[in-house]
Amino acid sequence: MPGLIPENILEDILNRIDIVEVISGCLPLKRAGRNFKACCPFHHEKTPSFMVSPERQIYHCFGCGESGNAFRFLMRHERMEFPEAVEALARKAGVVLPQIKAQDHKGENLITQFYKINELAASFYAANLNSAAAVNAKNYLLKRGIKEESVKLFRLGLAAHGWDTLMAHLRAKNVPLSLIEKAGLVLSKQGGGFYDRFRNRIIFPVVDIKSRVVGFGARVLDETQPKYINSPETPIYTKGRNLYGLNFSKESIRENDFAVIVEGYLDFIVPYQEGLKNIVASLGTALTPEQARILKRYTRNVVMVYDADNAGQLAMLRSLDIFIEEEMEVKIVSLSLGFDPDSFVRKYGIGPFREKIAKAQGLFDYKLAIMKSRHNPKEAQGKARISQEMLGTINKFKDAVLRSEYIRQLAQELDIREDALLEEAKKVRKFPGYAGANLRPNAKKELNINPAEKLLIALMLRESELIHYIRERLDPADFMDEKISKIVSLCFNFAEEGKDLSTKSLLNYFGDEGLSQIVCESVFLPDELSQQNKEKLIEDCLCRIQEEKIKLTRQRLHEEIKRAQDSKDEQRLERLTEEFNSLLKKR
Ligand SMILES: [Zn+2]
């Protein structure tokens, strides 16, 4: 993973920054003894199992196993690549990076290439929109109320009529066809060959928080169906992971301490250009947990604006429960039939739109009103259906006081006994079809390792002086677990070269093979470890590891002896028996 940037520079950076500061810039950390904890940003959970050690400058999640140093955190959380994470932290630390030679095309990371291809495509589409041939498209945008400055800011573009204009453009820049296809910009023809995915459409580049183009949305200029087509998922574009416009609106969202969420590109652009800057578009009817978590970095308050004739109304409403689970406050504005934010603002102006937002209704009240309009709250069946659906939402509140308060309100509204509702509340888990139900935490990669081996690693990492002692007694190969053996040999090498063995720097040497999980987990082993009689602890570990080794050797010899007996290989049998006996004596 490192390679290009010298080790000592990486170490220098890690020594100057504080991982607690880096992580708390992204999520709220709470002190827990000598460590900090939080709900893990990498898997969904309700009780915190994500730990940060200021002492060791690493983090580890006991729920999903994700762990590492500050570089790794930025890579995972901000979706940076290693060199980017190094650059970001170097800037923070005031460390000057040596000039790194420009990489050749082949050596370049595939991900970087995707960004480049998208960038080329976005520029190409934007230039198309500026050409003389694009009068129709320009007029169309003007008619839709899109200002020239917005066209520039959001880099709107035009995919021309032809079947291969983009493809020809990218090919002329030596972009391999296979990559253009993987980036989702062309489709394969039945009889062989490719054609442009987007033709005769207005192009909306989808840009991530760092203003890199990750994909495209494309809208027809007339009434052709489908109205919108989008990039397929690629290594840099996953639907529901982005919030359109957040790169422009994040500061305003932080300042205003709330975010307005709309659905589509134009629903975002039109209010934004009229001055409503704390807005993002979900680019999908239902909100995803990722999107909620991204927003949570900037605010805990969201107002969802959507059109009331939305077919997926209930699905959308259910998806909002995710905000409750994330302990965010969610309110809803529904526009009158036939209006979306885009058309509403064009017709009535931004003022009335802001008024609607100011008067947004809380999720509980809003959802209850919807449910009452769908089911008769005077009939038993209706009451049951309404309370089922409402309890699904109420159960998501972490705060027991809030839960009981909403149950009290619901009982009153439906004119039913509160204890009946309380009883139902216990039964209601997550119904099938619930957005929340699909939120299984990332399966933790279970590590089946001899505890003695793990303990030794923990001890070595706590006190590097111990490494020399252990090195005299054991060989890396004595550790049965391949991963532990790798870590041990790395530790031994460090010690031999007289290098400082700090956990945070050690992690720079690991890729994705699960080594950092072992190392980081050991850092958070209970503190009693350091109080115990260390010599005895080490002796016990060494003994157990050696015993394990002898046991395995015995098993192996036993099988080999059997085989030698079967094949009547007397010479071999004699040698093996001798070996077996001497092993028994050793014990
Ligand atoms: Zn986790």
Written as one string, the DSSP assignment of 205-252 is: EEE-TTS-EEEEEEEESSS-SSSEEEPPPBTTB-TTS--BTHHHHHHH
* CB neighbour list of residue 155: distance below 8 Å, 6 or more residues apart: 122, 126, 205, 207, 213
Distance 436 CA to ligand 1 centre (A): 17
Asked whether the predicted pLDDT for residue 343 surpasses 50, the reply is yes
State the Cα–Cα distance between residues 433 and 131, nearest whole angstrom.
48
Picking from 434, 79, 442, the residue whose alpha carbon sits closest to that of residue 286 is 434
Reported confidence tier of residue 445, pLDDT bands at 50, 70, 90: very low
Distance 557 CA to ligand 1 centre (A): 43
Distance 443 CA to ligand 1 centre (A): 9
For the chain, helix (H) and strand (E) counts, in that order, are 28, 16
Distance 127 CA to ligand 1 centre (A): 44
**Which residue shows structure tokens 């991530």?**
208
Distance 76 CA to ligand 1 centre (A): 12
Distance 435 CA to ligand 1 centre (A): 19
159-186 pLDDT per residue, tens: 998 899 999 999 999 899 889 999 999 9
Distance 55 CA to ligand 1 centre (A): 20
Q: Give the best-scoring range by mean pLDDT among 102-111, 285-294, 343-352, 529-538.
A: 343-352
Distance 49 CA to ligand 1 centre (A): 7
The residue type at 454: K
DSSP-derived secondary structure for 17-40: S-HHHHHHTTS--EEETTEEEE--
- pLDDT at residue 558, as a whole number: 86
Tokens coding 320: 């909002």
User: Angle at the Cα of 380 (from 374 to 386), degrees rounded to 5?
Assistant: 40
Please answer whether residues 418 and 407 qualify as being in contact, where contact means their C-beta atoms are separated by less than 8 angstroms. Answer: yes
DSSP state of 200: S
Distance 42 CA to ligand 1 centre (A): 5
- pLDDT at residue 149, as a whole number: 94
The proportion of the chain whose per-residue pLDDT surpasses 70, expressed as a percent, equals 91
Q: How far is CA 356 from CA 26, 27, 248, 263, 331, in A?
A: 31, 31, 23, 16, 11
Pick 196 or 100 by higher pLDDT: 196
- pLDDT at residue 103, as a whole number: 47
Distance 509 CA to ligand 1 centre (A): 22
Q: How far is CA 386 from CA 265, 424, 552, in A?
A: 34, 12, 63
Q: What is the dihedral of CA 167, 169, 175, 179, to 10 degrees?
A: -30
Asked whether the predicted pLDDT for residue 313 surpasses 80, the reply is no
Distance 426 CA to ligand 1 centre (A): 27
Lowest mean pLDDT among 54-63, 278-287, 451-460: 451-460
Distance 197 CA to ligand 1 centre (A): 38
State the Cα–Cα distance between residues 141 and 300, nearest whole angstrom.
34
Distance 471 CA to ligand 1 centre (A): 34
Model's pTM, two decimal places? Answer: 0.58
- pLDDT at residue 409, as a whole number: 94
- pLDDT at residue 441, as a whole number: 36
State the Cα–Cα distance between residues 396 and 367, nearest whole angstrom.
14
Pick 466 or 119 by higher pLDDT: 119
- pLDDT at residue 454, as a whole number: 82
State the Cα–Cα distance between residues 583 and 542, nearest whole angstrom.
17
Asked whether the predicted pLDDT for residue 337 surpasses 70, the reply is yes
Distance 61 CA to ligand 1 centre (A): 5
Pick 511 or 222 by higher pLDDT: 222
361-377 pLDDT per residue, tens: 999 999 999 889 888 99
Distance 534 CA to ligand 1 centre (A): 31
Reported confidence tier of residue 434, pLDDT bands at 50, 70, 90: very low
Distance 39 CA to ligand 1 centre (A): 8
- pLDDT at residue 432, as a whole number: 32
Q: Give the best-scoring range by mean pLDDT among 8-17, 221-230, 269-278.
A: 269-278
501-541 pLDDT per residue, tens: 788 888 888 776 678 888 888 878 765 565 667 778 888 88
Distance 62 CA to ligand 1 centre (A): 7
Distance 44 CA to ligand 1 centre (A): 7
Distance 387 CA to ligand 1 centre (A): 33
Distance 211 CA to ligand 1 centre (A): 27
Report the pLDDT averaged over residues 335-346: 89
State the Cα–Cα distance between residues 175 and 534, nearest whole angstrom.
60
Reported confidence tier of residue 555, pLDDT bands at 50, 70, 90: confident
Reported confidence tier of residue 496, pLDDT bands at 50, 70, 90: confident
Report the pLDDT averaged over residues 222-238: 86
Reported confidence tier of residue 586, pLDDT bands at 50, 70, 90: low
- pLDDT at residue 184, as a whole number: 94
Please, what is the average pLDDT of the chain? 85
245-287 pLDDT per residue, tens: 999 999 899 899 999 999 999 999 999 999 999 999 998 777 8
Distance 67 CA to ligand 1 centre (A): 9
Distance 514 CA to ligand 1 centre (A): 14
Distance 66 CA to ligand 1 centre (A): 6
What length does the chain have? 587
Distance 292 CA to ligand 1 centre (A): 17
Picking from 395, 394, 532, 515, the residue whose alpha carbon sits closest to that of residue 462 is 532
Alpha helices, H only, 339-446: 341-348, 350-358, 363-374, 380-394, 400-414, 418-427
